[in-house]
A and B are shown apart, each in its own frame.
Chain A
């Protein structure tokens, strides 16, 4: 089994090299004429107004939070799905109970308005 993962390890290294080649090639072939206007930050052709920061919108954080809970839920469910053959119906219903409890959580988030973008 470990030999399978060695393939992945080598793959990561080679896959990191492949995009590097055109970029390095571009370093030789492309002109390099930096001037202050070109290196400035882009803001629709004007001077930038204020520092680079974004107004804190808590909604981004809440989506990441709900995603985290559902991510962990699916991770628990994957072994359950793989062991499906050897599980009796009772065990399948336990998995369904797991899902139902978390659907309750989704409903709570929905009713409390946590899933609204506004």
Chain B
């Protein structure tokens, strides 16, 4: 059992545990905080995959912006700070069956995928991963179109969200 394997097992257990806690908590803010733990676990997995840049991006964007946005939404719309919700509804049994089937299908499919143990292709020596990522993002035979489309997508998301959440003139 190498250190990597031990860390991977511990982190996976942490992610699964916090994911389970997140969907079963009755206090929504607790659920949001368990989500933060799960996202941090994903960042650790990124580190294990030698994608340090994606790990810090995960923490910076997911935990630093998206989780805070969600916590704001929960705290601002839930009124009473300690209000509790019912965590399961009537469709619980069917949902559990469907998700178990789905998980089983995923595991079987991934198990039969030939490339599952493959390593990532090695980089040219002398260029770091981030430099490769950067030049791939803006090179014409790289990903420049998705790069610019992403900016338009962000613009559309910003405008759409502002239209939906626009503060009414006259105070709200």
**Whether chain A touches chain B in the assembled complex (some CB pair under 8 Å):** yes
List residues of A whose CB falls within 8 A of some B CB: 1-2, 4-6, 9, 51-54, 56-62, 64-69, 71-73, 75-76, 78-87, 90-91, 94-95, 97-98, 101-102, 104-105, 108-109, 112-114, 116, 118
Cβ of B157 within 8 Å of any chain A Cβ, yes or no, is yes
With known contacts A2-B4, A2-B50, A80-B138, A61–B73 Cβ distance under 8 A: yes
Sorting the interface of chain B by its residue count into under 10, 10 to 19, 20 to 34 or 35 or more gives: 35 or more
Assess whether B66 is in contact with A68, with CB atoms less than 8 Å apart. yes
Q: Which residues of B are found within 8 Å of A114, using beta-carbon distances? A: 162, 166-167
**Contact yes or no, A62 B162, CB < 8 A:** yes
Q: Is the CB of A105 within 8 A of B159?
A: yes
Dominant secondary structure of chain B at its interface with chain A: helix
Cβ A79 vs Cβ B155 within 8 A? no
Per-residue interface assignment for chain B, residues 128 to 172, with 1 indicating a CB less than 8 Å from any chain A CB and 0 otherwise: 101111110111100010011011101101110110011101011
Q: Which residues of A contact B77 (CB under 8 A)?
A: 56
What does the 1/0 interface line of B98-121 toward A look like (CB < 8 Å)?
A: 000000000000000000000000
Known contacts A56-B77, A71-B65, A91-B138, A108 near B158 by CB under 8 Å: yes
Q: What residues of chain B lie closer than 8 Å to A78, measured between beta carbons?
A: 53, 130, 134
Task: Pick out which of these stretches binds chain A: B21-29, B56-64, B84-92.
Answer: B56-64
Known contacts A2-B48, A114-B162; A60 and B171 CB within 8 A of each other: no
B79 in the interface, Cβ–Cβ < 8 Å? yes
What's the nearest-Cβ distance from chain B to residue A96, in Å? 11
Any A CB within 8 A of the CB of B122: no
* CA gap between A38 and B67 in the complex, in Å: 33
- The smallest C-beta distance from B52 to any residue of chain A, in angstroms, reads 7
Is residue B7 within 8 Å, beta carbon to beta carbon, of the partner chain? Answer: yes
Which parts of B8-58 form the interface with A (CB within 8 Å)? 44, 47-48, 50, 52-53, 55, 57
Contact of A94 among B52, B61, B147 (CB under 8 A): B147
Residues of A within 8 A of B169 (CB): 113
Which of B72, B75, B135, B158 has most A Cβ within 10 Å?
Answer: B158
B76 within 8 A of partner (CB): yes
Alpha-carbon distance between A95 and B60 when the two chains are bound, in angstroms: 21
Task: Choose one: B61, B72, B157; the contact of A64 (CB below 8 Å).
Answer: B72
> Which listed residue, A67, A75, A112, touches B57 by the CB 8 Å rule?
A75
Q: Are B57 and A86 in contact (CB under 8 A)?
A: no
Q: List 5 A-B contacts (CB under 8 A).
A: A5-B55, A53-B81, A64-B72, A82-B128, A113-B167
- Report the Cα distance A116→B162, complex, angstroms: 13
Chain B: minimal CB distance from A47 (Å): 18
Query: Which chain B residues lie closer than 8 Å to A118 at the CB level?
Result: 171
